[in-house]
Structure 1
Amino acid sequence: MPLTLYYHPLSSFCHKVLVALYEYAIEFERRIIDLSSETDRAELRALWPLCKFPVIVDHANPQGLPESSVIIEYLDRFYAGQHCLLPSDWNTALQVRLWDRFFDQYVQAPMQRIVADRLYAKNDDLSAERATLMTAYGMLERQLASRSWVASPTFSMADCAAAPALFYANNVLPFPEDCRHLNAYFDRLTQRPSVLRVLEEAKPWFAFYPFAEAIPERFR
């Protein structure tokens, strides 16, 4: 196979890339990285010295390509065919990139700090992280008031970013009930075949997730 993905099935940023790969229907080899294994860490570090996943290797150009958004842009350029996740229209593509960054920076980042706090029993003050998530939920509620997908008329890279970010964020700080557009969007995302496949593959690993008890029964 021309592509190898270095990843972990529980990682939200890896989920983002997996959703894109399944949307594109691209065949790829899987290399699960256990960060507790020095052998695995050394293998990943050789590709990306920061030792973070996901990293993808295109064996036609065997240099590790890191960062979920960069990976998806690469796949969109060289492997997408007719099914692109980056719109050809510049203005729409700009919105897709904006909302992709929004999910990474303002949903994933505070969510991951909350998860890490429980994982390492730090008991830090996380009021700022929760406030950021609530602000993000409010912004999404307004953004989604008149659209099915967050940044484009069709499913895009921004929705690939949204799926894992919102799945895990909803566990650590549930969406307000009155955010009906956000809740409806989350339902659309989690009914998408590519997203369902990612969540199904993650099931065996959910027991290691610090908020496992908060995962809705329908996803277990």
Structure 2
Amino acid sequence: MTLTLHAHPFSSYSWKAMIALYEAETPFESVLLDQATFGAFKALWPIGKFPVLVDDTRGQTVPEASIIIEYLDLHYPGAERLLPEDPDARLDMRLLDRFFDNYVSTPQQKIVADRMRAPQAHDQQGVDDARAMLATSYRWLDDRMATRIWAAADMFSLADCGAGPFLFYADWVQPIDATHPHLKAYLARLRDRPSVKRAIDGARPYRHLFPGGVPDHAD
């Protein structure tokens, strides 16, 4: 078996797939995406979005972090599965997976991307809308996590693989403070999870790349 993950250790969506691989203790090789390797990567996946998993044994190229995790759970499962067997629980997990992608990661990335624009190209309305979305998402998640340990299905799942990086970086641009105690506690549990901690530690050498700098409350 040869699994190769084309990714970057500072990328939140790369973390999402890495956390699943670490959870399952599945061996894999990694290709660091940079200027030298990106041309070959685009030939592999013309959309140019990472991560992408290549499975030489099965002859499969698998893009998109959520699909990668489902693929791994189907063909290379760990001792604990990342997708529940119960159909209703699986729907709940997929809802949370989409929630973290669309309503946490997307507005966080909007705020960060605006920092990279030339001053005359800033989109203040877009940033304000993104911050409002994060505020709404934090409130909804805080209510949900009041009675839960993990995001969905009473187990660490695909949804938590996304929650780890997306909440980690969202907290950098719009801190999750004491007004959201349940969400704050959930983020602390995620950060303590060995698979998430491994992704966090692997990204530390690249923190200087974060637009606007790393906030003072980051550790």
1:47 deviation in Å?
1.6
Listed one character per residue, the Cα deviations across residues 173-217 of structure 1 (whole Å, up to 9, x for unaligned) are 112421100000000000000000000010000111114321634
**Residue number in structure 2 paired with 1:142:** 143
Q: Which runs of 4+ in 1 moved over 3 A?
A: none
Instruction: Indicate the SS of the match to 1:214.
Output: coil
Amino acid across the alignment from 1:139: W
1:128 deviation in Å?
0.5
1:215–1:70 distance in 2 versus 1, CA, 3 Å:
farther
Cα RMSD after superposing both structures? 1.3
1:211–1:87 distance in 2 versus 1, CA, 3 Å:
farther
Report the Cα distance in structure 2 between the residues aligned to 1:171 and 1:215, rounded to whole angstroms. 9
Report the Cα distance in structure 2 between the residues aligned to 1:148 and 1:22, rounded to whole angstroms. 20
Amino acid across the alignment from 1:127: D
2:32 is the counterpart of 1:14: no
**Residue number in structure 2 paired with 1:51:** 48
1:159–1:215 distance in 2 versus 1, CA, 3 Å:
farther
**Residue number in structure 2 paired with 1:128:** 129
**Residue number in structure 1 paired with 2:158:** 157
**Residue number in structure 1 paired with 2:26:** 26
Amino acid across the alignment from 1:41: F
Aligned pair partner of 1:96 in 93, 117, 122: 93
Instruction: Indicate the SS of the match to 2:144.
Output: helix
Report the Cα distance in structure 1 between the residues aligned to 2:166 and 2:103, rounded to whole angstroms. 9
Give 5+ residue unaligned stretches, structure 1.
none
Instruction: Indicate the SS of the match to 2:37.
Output: helix
**Residue number in structure 2 paired with 1:172:** 173
Amino acid across the alignment from 1:20: A
Report the Cα distance in structure 2 between the residues aligned to 1:10 and 1:153, rounded to whole angstroms. 29
Give TM-score scaled by structure 2 length: 0.94
